[in-house]
Amino acid sequence: MVHDYARKVFIRCFADQGHFSGQDPDEIIPEGYLESYNYSDTKFRAFTPMVRLMSDKPKWYNNWIWDKFKHFKSIFKESKNFEKSLLALRVIPFPGFSVNRIPKEEIEFTSIKFIFSVFLFLFIPRRYEISHNDMTKLSPFSKTILCKNFDIYDNPAIEAVIVLHWRKARNFFFFTFFRFLVFAACFGLISWAYLDHSTIINHYFLFALVFVFYYLTTYQLITEVLQCHHCGFKKYLGEIFNILDIISIMFAVTIMSIMLKNFQFFDGFGSVNEISDRLITGISFSIFLLWIELILYLRLMPVIGIYIYHVVIIFKTVFPFFLFILIVIFAFAHTMFVLLRNPTNIKTKDSTYSGVATNSLTNETLDIKLKSDFDPMSSDNPFTSFTKAMMATYFWINGDWVQRDEFDYWAVDVLTVIASIFLVIVLQNMVIAYMSNVYEDVIAKSRQILLRLQANFISDYEALQHFHFSKPGPEPKHIYYFSQADYFEKWYNTRSDNDKGPIYKSFEINSTLTLSSNFIVNDYDKYSFLTYNDNIKIVVEDFIKSVNDNTENLIKRAIDKNSIEKIDDVKIDMDRILERLKKQFS
């Protein structure tokens, strides 16, 4: 109930700002920036107000070259026909919603401090400024994200906060992504030199690649350990992405260590003569894991990541149906395994192929006949083992009917027909239709997943150590955002009626249904903060009435005459005070 209440509070506080109102873009966007936005395409923008005074002195770059550039830019803008649409300007109603309380040290910006900060920024993993048990110092936004108990990402205001702070966290993400690219490139080049058995890469450069690879391996493992310590072991392993990070790094460094046993400084891997099949398999799987990790890194990039979520959502939705298909395949594989495991009394088809060939030297024509050499008791028969039977049955979907082509038995023909109808025609087309229906709801969900992962990354970035190369500005107390007015209208229309009315209504109904005998029906609209007009006067009147009633009850329960006289005196004094209150608020 508490989480539902919080969700409704976010909807009302963030949405009830006149969502149907719209303004002309000229009234919101400065003239110098107005033409740079095509409002038919601009869906949403977040910004913070500029609080510093701007100098009107000419800048150093205001010369004739810059004037020429602005002239050509204005000509280009005039050639464009920007379509205007009404914009709605909004503000996050919670001041300081994204401001944290993490202590910040005063830093003197000297040349030595600058060089040291650059070194730490480039080569040393960042530590966390706060511990796992000290999350109260985070901003209210980050604490809201860490709760994970109610969905707030389908909300324009929350999206505004994420979009604004993602600009800062995005740079850190790109550096992290770049380090992984270098790590993967080192592994790819070293494994290529190892498999080629030659000195295609200079041995000095190859040694440098090995050094960089192990440095980046150490860097990434330390980063994962720090993140695990900050989040907690259980929460860290609860994210599948963290598990894949550890697996891809450890698998790659294990394979690299095996390859380096044959490394010679004077010729690299030139002395390698033979490579085991197991090592080649390990290299291929390691490269496959690195590619998977690379694709998962792209999940935080809006342009590419949205399609990754499409695949994830569709797979999660269709996964139960895939399990059902797997059970059907298992049933047919088991049936064919029992039938054809030892087919001593089942005939096979003697397939023959004939043709004509001409000898190009003597022009002699030759009649050629070929006969298949299929042995049902050997590995030619995929149904001699259950694992091979499962694979053969799965490939029925692609039209590979080996049992129909090789065996001449009526039971095989009957089972093949049943499988072709049920497995191929019915189930395969059901999967296609099911995925088509699911895709319609995927786009909105993908956007929410992207915002959730970006918000988690922002929350994690907020707790990290930050390096500043100049004096940082103050954190924005207010966050503004604007978009097309119809965007807010469409979002508000998708809310249910229960989310649009007063918050207390649903709780009042539930309480009346469950505990109607314990509550007295009252008009709570009088005290609602949504209709807060003359509530002070109402409160005073109710207070006066309650004092009179309580005084009468005390007199009735009193026995001693003197006590009654004292109570009467108190009542007279209270009446005087109440009369003053009436006159003051009347």
Q: Give the DSSP letter string of 480-548.
A: EEEEEHHHHHHHHHTS-HHHHS-THHHHHHHHHHHHGGG-----GGGG-GGG-SSHHHHHHHHHHHHHH
Whether the per-residue pLDDT at 281 is higher than 90: the answer is yes
Enter the pTM of the model.
Answer: 0.71
Q: Give the DSSP letter string of 197-260.
A: TS--S-HHHHHHHHHHHHHHHHHHHHHHHHHHHHH-HHHHHT-HHHHHHHHHHHHHHHHHHHHG
Rounded to whole angstroms, the Cα distance separating 148 from 256 reads 39
CA distances from 6 to 3, 259, 524 (A): 5, 56, 19
Highest mean pLDDT among 101-115, 292-306, 342-356, 440-454: 292-306
At 40-51, the pLDDT tens digits run 445 667 777 666
- Report the percent of the chain where pLDDT is more than 70: 66
Q: Give the DSSP letter string of 119-136.
A: HHHHHSPPPBSS-TT-GG
Rounded to whole angstroms, the Cα distance separating 46 from 162 reads 9
Give the residue, 183 or 68, on which the prediction is more confident.
183
At 474-532, the pLDDT tens digits run 777 788 777 776 666 677 677 666 666 555 555 555 555 444 444 444 554 444 544 44
Mean pLDDT value across residues 109-123: 82
Closest C-alpha to 322, from 400, 431, 426, 423: 431
Residue 289, pLDDT score: 95
At 519-563, the pLDDT tens digits run 444 554 444 544 444 455 565 566 666 666 666 665 555 555 555
Which residue ranges make up each domain of the chain? 1-95+484-501, 103-300+459-477, 314-439, 533-585
Rounded to whole angstroms, the Cα distance separating 82 from 40 reads 8
